[in-house]
Amino acid sequence: MSRKQQVPRPGPALGTDDTGCPILHVDMDAFYASVELRERPELRGVPVIIGDPGARGVVLSATYEARRFGVHSAMPMTRARRLCPRAVVIPPSRHKYAEVSRGVMEIFRSITPDVEPIASDEAFLDVGGARKRLGRPAVIAAAIRERVVREHGITCSVGVAGSKFVAKLASQHCKPDGLLVVPADEVVSFLHPLPVAALWGVGERTEHSLVRLGIKTVGDLAHTPVDALRRELGQAAGTHLAELAWGRDPRPVRADVPDKSIGAEETFATDVGDPVEIRRELLRLSERVAARLREGGHVGRTVSVKLRRADFSTITRSRTLREPTDVARDLYTVACELYTASGLGRTPLRLVGVRVENLRPAAETPRQLGLGEREKGWREAERAMDRAARRFGRDVVLPASLVRPPFDEIDL
């Protein structure tokens, strides 16, 4: 199906009265998979999984056809392929997903400045201030869905409600490719039949504790005395869940919530104990993290590495720099020093990661040149690499040590 042929379906609606419902939660449908299917329309209707096809890979995204077999994000690829052996597995193309994500967020911000991204493929919007210009929230939601299809060739689901919590549940409820309005006077009737696990903050352990009390639905929890919930779950958690069970969520949409950290990690296809290979991967990860820092306009002071052994035991080490940075060379230098200081030597590793914390806006952070440092250097070189990557793809310019020969050398 071409982009022009793909049209959003109306989607189910609990009601049409969106008075007092200025909050939208917009969530792309099977985001990574949908982006790939734009270029492979012959795979529409086929189970498709996005992820590293190797034995150590995990599922990053799956079409709804694959999900019917029980495949879901973060599942080990080996299990996913057992559940759905006929699925087509596509390695991820992160630069494509980042490009589409930027475009989708630009659509949101063209409608309202009150946009709170919570992932690359979803965001909250407060459209209360856009009503006079663009119409009712449900009309704005429908326009967003149409623009996402028209401009990017993928679909999204939108929940419209009076609070962030209910809007997010609504978007989940109408997936895929739907629009659901939860009117203010129907919030309780929408929430109470849902399983208690639908509430934010109810993980597996909390759900087990609630079921032990006979609480299986949101309605059960809503009619449980708050004191009993506080005794079982603690003061804060008990109060929080009691409020959510009645749809009370006063949190506003916070535009441009700053990232707390930026990182990347890689699971090896087989355990790696060669320090040269591990440092090569640390360089690759440092390049990815630095590019994301610059893309977001951040610099950071604290660099950490994550080193996971074959037995899944994990070591983390970190160091805080004197000056914040967004330069891959700086990150790589510290990452290698932290790896050496870990004392792992040639211990086989299953996974390595690099993360930068203690972020701040780059524009508000003056840069001081070190003694003898040239005014233009690695930072400018890496920004030139960013420009080339945006135009030609992320792998068009790489450090020499990351360029592998196209074939093994042979003796003639």
Q: Which residues are catalytic, by number?
A: 122
Bridge partner list, 360: 299
Distance, in Å, from the CA atom of 2 to the CA atom of 40, rounded to the nearest integer, reads 10
Contact (Cβ atoms closer than 8 angstroms) between residue 383 and residue 294: yes
Distance, in Å, from the CA atom of 162 to the CA atom of 152, rounded to the nearest integer, reads 28
Contact (Cβ atoms closer than 8 angstroms) between residue 9 and residue 177: yes
* CA atoms within 13 Å, Cβ hemisphere of 70: 10
Is 27 known as a binding-site position? Answer: yes
Distance, in Å, from the CA atom of 189 to the CA atom of 118, rounded to the nearest integer, reads 27
Contact (Cβ atoms closer than 8 angstroms) between residue 129 and residue 112: yes
Residue 234: count of CB within 10 angstroms of its CB: 11
Contact (Cβ atoms closer than 8 angstroms) between residue 25 and residue 159: yes
Whether the bond into 195 is cis, omega within 30 of 0: no
**How far lies 128's CA from each of 20, 43, 133, 252, 345, in Å?**
9, 39, 10, 12, 57
* CA atoms within 13 Å, Cβ hemisphere of 267: 16
Contact (Cβ atoms closer than 8 angstroms) between residue 159 and residue 11: no
Is 311 known as a binding-site position? Answer: no
Distance, in Å, from the CA atom of 210 to the CA atom of 197, rounded to the nearest integer, reads 10
Contact (Cβ atoms closer than 8 angstroms) between residue 59 and residue 72: yes
Binding-site residues from annotation for Mg(2+): 27, 121
Binding-site residues from annotation: 27, 121
